[in-house]
C-alpha cells in the first residue's frame, strides 16, 4: 500500500469512445500545477488559478475552459471542476476534467498530466486516500467497490447501506458495549472493593448477551446478503420430459432451452439471470435425472446432481401427464421417495414440488393432489426434511407460470430476510465475516469464563481481543497487507 502524497490522476470513466471522458486528479495544493495551461474560452486569456484558490470556500469551482499543452496547442475544450480540500471525495484537493470522449484526446491530456508532475493512480488509490484521510471507513470503502461491481438490484441496495454506514454504526455500538464491560473489569483489577464495590461478573451477563446477539445477527446476515447480491439460485430438476425446459423458457420469456418430446433432450446445465418483481434470481435448467447408458446424457445427469448442492431452491418438476386419478397418492409417494430419499440436502435449502403441464390435467387431478400432498409429506419417512420440504406445492404450465413466480418471490423474501432495512445491517465481504466470527468466539469464551468465575484479568483480555476484531472491521487498526489486498480489487480511477 502506498502512503505517498504525490498528486495522482486517472481516467474515471470507461476508456472508450463516448460523449465525455472524466479525468480525476487528487493531491495537495493542486491548482498551481495547472497555471499557464488553462484558458478562458471567449478571450483566450490564461486563467489565474490562484484567484480560484482564494475565491472558493465550500462549493466546487466549475468553468468551461481550453486546456493547452506546453507548446500552447489546444488539447480540448473541457469542463474544469475543482473541489477544495477537505471537502472532496479523497479529503485532498480534487480536480475533475471532463473532455470529449475520444481516447486520442484523453491520451494527450494524460501526457500533459505526466509532464506537469502528476503520476498515474494505482487501482483504488482515490478511495484508499479517502479512507486514510478519514473521509470513510473500511466498511464504506468495501461498499463503494461493491456498488460499482454489483450485478443485482439487491447487491446495489446492500452496497448503498454499507456506504451509508449502517454496518459501521452497528459494530460501533457493539464495540462501545465491550468497552463498558472492560471498564468494569479493569476497575476491579486496579481498585479495591471498598472503592468500586464487590466484584460481581455475573452482572455483566446482560451486556455480554446483548453484544453476542447483535454479532450473531450480523453473521446470519452474510448468507442472506450473498443471495441478495448474487441472486437466489433456483434449480429446475426432475425426470426427463417433466417440463423443466419449457418452464425455464417460460420464466425467462424467451426460447433459451431446446424443447422436444424426446426424453433427455437437455444434456447440460443452462444458467441465466432472472428478475421477478424486482427480485434477483439465477435460474438453472438441468438434465433429466434417470438411469441411462448414453455417455453424454450420463455426464449431464451427474452435473444435475452436483448442481443440487449449489441451489437455494430446488424446484422438483413433476409431470402428471398420463397419470390416473386413482393412482395419485401412490404416484406422489413413489416420486418423492425416489428423489428425496436418495439425495443429500443442506438445512438451508428449500425443496418446492412443482406439478407441470397443468393445462393437460382434468380438475379432479388438482383436487386429489391437494388432498394427498400434505398426508404424503407428513409421513415419518420424510420427517428429516420437514424444515426444507415446502408445505405448499405449485401447479403451472409453460402458458401459466404466475403461481410459480409468486411463490419464488415469497421464497426470495424468506431466504434474504429483512435485508436493506435500517435496523438490519449486513456483512458484505468474507473479510468482514471472518472478523465478526472472531469477535463472536471471544464473547462466547468471555461468557464461559464469567460462568466459571474466572479472574477479571483473563476475562478482560478475551473481551479486548473481540473489541480489536471489531475495530479491524471498520479499519481502525491499520494492517497494511489487508488494505493493499482490499484496494487492489478496485477500478483504476476510483
Tens digits of pLDDT across the chain (494 residues) = 454 679 999 999 988 899 999 999 999 999 999 999 999 998 999 999 988 877 777 789 999 999 999 999 999 999 999 999 999 999 999 999 999 999 999 999 999 999 999 999 999 999 999 999 999 988 998 898 888 888 888 888 888 888 888 889 999 999 999 988 888 888 888 777 777 677 788 889 999 999 999 999 999 888 888 888 888 999 998 887 777 888 888 888 876 655 555 554 455 678 888 889 888 999 988 865 545 555 555 555 566 667 778 889 999 888 877 776 677 888 888 888 878 876 778 888 899 999 887 877 777 777 778 778 888 888 888 888 888 888 888 888 878 889 999 999 999 988 887 554 445 788 888 999 999 999 999 999 999 999 888 888 999 999 999 999 999 888 876 555 445 655 665 566 66
List the one residue out of 27, 177, 209, 227 whose CA is nearest residue 117.
27
DSSP letter, residue 90: S
Per the confidence metrics, is the pTM higher than 0.85? no
Q: Please report, for residues 99, 167, 259, the alpha-carbon distance to residue 404 in angstroms, rounded to integers and kept in the order given.
A: 50, 34, 20
pLDDT of 208:
93
List the one residue out of 42, 202, 49, 138 whose CA is nearest residue 484.
138
How many alpha carbons lie under 13 Å from residue 255 in its C-beta half-sphere? Answer: 3
DSSP letter, residue 47: P
Whole-number Å distance between alpha carbons of 214 and 191: 31
Tell me which residue has cell 482564494: 54
DSSP letter, residue 280: E
Q: Distance from CA of residue 475 to its chain's centroid? A: 19
Whole-number Å distance between alpha carbons of 436 and 469: 7
Q: Phi first, then psi: what are they for 183, rounded to 5°?
A: -60, -40
Q: Is the sign of the CA dihedral 474, 476, 481, 484 positive or negative?
A: positive
Q: Would you call 21 exposed, middle or buried from its count of C-beta atoms within 10 A (0-12, 13-18, 19+)?
A: buried
pLDDT of 76:
96
Helix, strand or coil, per DSSP, at residue 456: helix
Whole-number Å distance between alpha carbons of 439 and 221: 15
Q: What percentage of the chain's residues is helix, strand, coil (to nearest 5)?
A: 50, 20, 35
**Contact status, residue 93 vs residue 82, Cβ threshold 8 Å:** yes
Q: Which CATH number fits domain 144-225+429-487: 3.60.150.10, 1.10.510.10, 1.20.120.430, 3.40.50.970?
A: 1.20.120.430
pLDDT of 1:
47
**Contact status, residue 359 vs residue 368, Cβ threshold 8 Å:** no
Q: Which residues contact 480 (CB under 8 A, 6 or more apart)?
A: 1
Whole-number Å distance between alpha carbons of 45 and 16: 32
Domain 8-136: homologous superfamily in CATH: Probable tRNA modification gtpase trme; domain 1 (3.30.1360.120)
Sheet holding 61-68, edge to edge: 38-40, 61-68, 74-83, 93-101, 18-27, 8-11, 119-120
Tell me which residue has cell 417440463: 243
User: Per DSSP, which regions of 189-309 are E strands?
Assistant: 232-238, 270-276, 279-285
Q: Please report, for residues 36, 75, 260, 264, the alpha-carbon distance to residue 44 in angstroms, rounded to integers and kept in the order given.
A: 12, 14, 71, 74
**Contact status, residue 134 vs residue 86, Cβ threshold 8 Å:** no
Q: Phi first, then psi: what are they for 48, rounded to 5°?
A: -85, 100
pLDDT of 484:
62
**Contact status, residue 217 vs residue 439, Cβ threshold 8 Å:** no
DSSP string, 115-162: HHT-EEPPTTHHHHHHHHTTSS-HHHHHHHHHHHH--SHHHHHHHHHH
- Quote the crossing angle between the two packed helices 153-163 and 205-230, to the nearest 10°: 140
Q: Distance from CA of residue 399 to its chain's centroid? A: 34
Every domain of the chain and the residues it spans: 8-136, 144-225+429-487, 233-416
Query: Residues 116, 120, 122, CA angle at the centre, nearest 5°?
Result: 155
Whole-number Å distance between alpha carbons of 138 and 163: 10
**Contact status, residue 314 vs residue 353, Cβ threshold 8 Å:** no
**How many beta carbons lie within 10 A of that of residue 209, not counting itself?**
12
* C-alpha cell, 326: 386413482
pLDDT of 249:
86
Which bin fits 222, alpha (ψ -120 to 50), beta or left (φ > 0)?
A: alpha
Q: Phi first, then psi: what are they for 243, rounded to 5°?
A: 105, 15
**CATH class belonging to 233-416:** alpha beta
**How many beta carbons lie within 10 A of that of residue 91, not counting itself?**
18
Q: Please report, for residues 14, 361, 376, 467, the alpha-carbon distance to residue 242 in angstroms, rounded to integers and kept in the order given.
A: 46, 14, 21, 55
* C-alpha cell, 129: 486516500
**Cis geometry, peptide bond prior to residue 83 (ω within 30 degrees of 0):** no
Query: Residues 330, 336, 339, CA angle at the centre, nearest 5°?
Result: 135
pLDDT of 242:
78
**Contact status, residue 232 vs residue 278, Cβ threshold 8 Å:** no
Amino acid at each position: 500500500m502506498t502512503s505517498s502524497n504525490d498528486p495522482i490522476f486517472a481516467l474515471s470513466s470507461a476508456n472508450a469512445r463516448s460523449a465525455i471522458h472524466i479525468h480525476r486528479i487528487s493531491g495537495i495544493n493542486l491548482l498551481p500545477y495547472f497555471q499557464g495551461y488553462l484558458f478562458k474560452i471567449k478571450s483566450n486569456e490564461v486563467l489565474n488559478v490562484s484567484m480560484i484558490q482564494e475565491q472558493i470556500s465550500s462549493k466546487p469551482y466549475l468553468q468551461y475552459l481550453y486546456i493547452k499543452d506546453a507548446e500552447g496547442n489546444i488539447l480540448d475544450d473541457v469542463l474544469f471542476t475543482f473541489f477544495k480540500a477537505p471537502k472532496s471525495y479523497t479529503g485532498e484537493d480534487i480536480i475533475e476534467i471532463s473532455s470529449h470522449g475520444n481516447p486520442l484526446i484523453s491520451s494527450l491530456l494524460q501526457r500533459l498530466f505526466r509532464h506537469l508532475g502528476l503520476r498515474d493512480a494505482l487501482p483504488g488509490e482515490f478511495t484508499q486516500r479517502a479512507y486514510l484521510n478519514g473521509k470513510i471507513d473500511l466498511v464504506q470503502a468495501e461498499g463503494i467497490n461493491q456498488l460499482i461491481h454489483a450485478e443485482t438490484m439487491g447487491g446495489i441496495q446492500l452496497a448503498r447501506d454499507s456506504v451509508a454506514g449502517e454496518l459501521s454504526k452497528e459494530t460501533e455500538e457493539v464495540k462501545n458495549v465491550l468497552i463498558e464491560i472492560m471498564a468494569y473489569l479493569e476497575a476491579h483489577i486496579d481498585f479495591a472493593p471498598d472503592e468500586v464495590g464487590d466484584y460481581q461478573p455475573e452482572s455483566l451477563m446482560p451486556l455480554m448477551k446483548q453484544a453476542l446477539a447483535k454479532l450473531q445477527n450480523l453473521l446470519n446476515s452474510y448468507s442472506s446478503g450473498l443471495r441478495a447480491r448474487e441472486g437466489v439460485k433456483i434449480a429446475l430438476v426432475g425426470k426427463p420430459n417433466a417440463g423443466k425446459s419449457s418452464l425455464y423458457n417460460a420464466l425467462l420469456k424467451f426460447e433459451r432451452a431446446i424443447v422436444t418430446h424426446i426424453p433427455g433432450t437437455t444434456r447440460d446445465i443452462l444458467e441465466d439471470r432472472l428478475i421477478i418483481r424486482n427480485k434477483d434470481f439465477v435460474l438453472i435448467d438441468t438434465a433429466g435425472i434417470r438411469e441411462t447408458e448414453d455417455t453424454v446424457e450420463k455426464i449431464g445427469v451427474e452435473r444435475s446432481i452436483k448442481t443440487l448442492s449449489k441451489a437455494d431452491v430446488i424446484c422438483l418438476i413433476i409431470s402428471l401427464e398420463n397419470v390416473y386419478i386413482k393412482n395419485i397418492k401412490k404416484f406422489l409417494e413413489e416420486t418423492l421417495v425416489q428423489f428425496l430419499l436418495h439425495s443429500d440436502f443442506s438445512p438451508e435449502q428449500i425443496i418446492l414440488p412443482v406439478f407441470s403441464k397443468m393445462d393437460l390435467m382434468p380438475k379432479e387431478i388438482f383436487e386429489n393432489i391437494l388432498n394427498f400432498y400434505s398426508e404424503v409429506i407428513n409421513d415419518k419417512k420424510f420427517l428429516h426434511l420437514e424444515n426444507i420440504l415446502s408445505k405448499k406445492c405449485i401447479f403451472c404450465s409453460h402458458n401459466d407460470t404466475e403461481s410459480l413466480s409468486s411463490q419464488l418471490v415469497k421464497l426470495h423474501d424468506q431466504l434474504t430476510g429483512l435485508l436493506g432495512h435500517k435496523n438490519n445491517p449486513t456483512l458484505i465481504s468474507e473479510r468482514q465475516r471472518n472478523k465478526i466470527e472472531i469477535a463472536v468466539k471471544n464473547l462466547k469464551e468471555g461468557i464461559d469464563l464469567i460462568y466459571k468465575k474466572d479472574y477479571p484479568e483473563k476475562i478482560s483480555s478475551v473481551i479486548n481481543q473481540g473489541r480489536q476484531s471489531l475495530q479491524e472491521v471498520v479499519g481502525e487498526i491499520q494492517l497494511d497487507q489487508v488494505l493493499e489486498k482490499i484496494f487492489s480489487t478496485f477500478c483504476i480511477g476510483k
